Amino acid sequence: MTDMIKIEDLSKKFGDTEVLKGLNGSVSKGQVICVIGPSGGGKSTFLRCLNLLEKPTSGKVTFESNELTALNETQLNELREKMGMVFQSFNLFANMTVIENVKLAPVKVKNMSDDEANKLALSLLDQVGLQEKADAYPASLSGGQQQRVAIARALAMNPDVMLFDEPTSALDPEMVGEVLKVMQDLANDGMTMVVVTHEMGFAKNVADQVWFMDGGVFAEKGTPEQIFEHPKNDRTKDFLAKIL
């Protein structure tokens, strides 16, 4: 099977600080990878390098057989449409309704007709359980609802992979579950996902592979069972002891 994403010897420096130190990995179609690890370890930088929001200092990122690190910005933008991204802060457009947020990219970028975009947006809002909020403004929604809209908005471009950077970290505890549920459904439907998360329950239940990142390296990779039940690396053990 060919890899959807391949990461080869990926390094990133900010000035003299080496934040990513020669990472390797691959993500195959339908796989869910959870990236866990302590704050400052490089998780967000790694995720942003996958769609070249952050330019690697060296190494290669290949997505669907395209070497992203060799492309120009126009070529990159085309491929980025296939990589949905959801951040900790939902970043919805406050002056647009929920449905306008969701259909914006398909209309602007894909020239989808208004009719078709409305249909698509409503079906995606249904998928995240928010069809009845289509005409509401983001400010009137809870954090969990806003994040579900952000997921629907990312899905509107029909991505082949979804990248999540701590999508539940900014939420009140009672709203974490509803967002994780949407993500779990997405995974069950076969979406390829790379998820940076502190939600160890989600990683245990949903991930095919868990990559433990610390100090700019993947200190340990394995199945949830290997990482959570039988960690080999001392840094993994320390981290899990602190958070579990």
Q: Binding segment for ligand ADP among 35-43, 67-75, 151-159, 233-241 (CB under 6 A)?
A: 35-43
Q: Binding segment for Mg ion among 20-28, 35-43, 204-212, 234-242 (CB under 5 A)?
A: 35-43
Are 216 and 41 in contact by the 8 Å Cβ rule? The answer is: yes
Mask for 37-76, x = binds ligand ADP (CB under 6 A): --xxxxxxx-------------------------------
Angle among Cα 52, 53, 56 to the nearest 5 degrees reads: 50
Strand pairing of 3-14 and 66-67? unpaired
Nearer to ligand ADP (CB atom), residue 97 or residue 236: 236
Task: Report the 3 state secondary structure along 42-84.
Answer: CHHHHHHHHCCCCCCCEEEEEECCEEHHHCCHHHHHHHHCCEE
CB of 42 to ligand ADP, least distance (A): 4
Query: Would you count residue 44 as binding Mg ion (CB under 5 A)?
Result: yes
d(CA 173, CA 154) in angstroms, rounded, equals 23
Nearer to Mg ion (CB atom), residue 42 or residue 222: 42
d(CA 172, CA 198) in angstroms, rounded, equals 14
> Given the rule CB under 6 A, which residues bind ligand ADP?
14, 19, 39-45
> Given the rule CB under 5 A, which residues bind Mg ion?
43-44
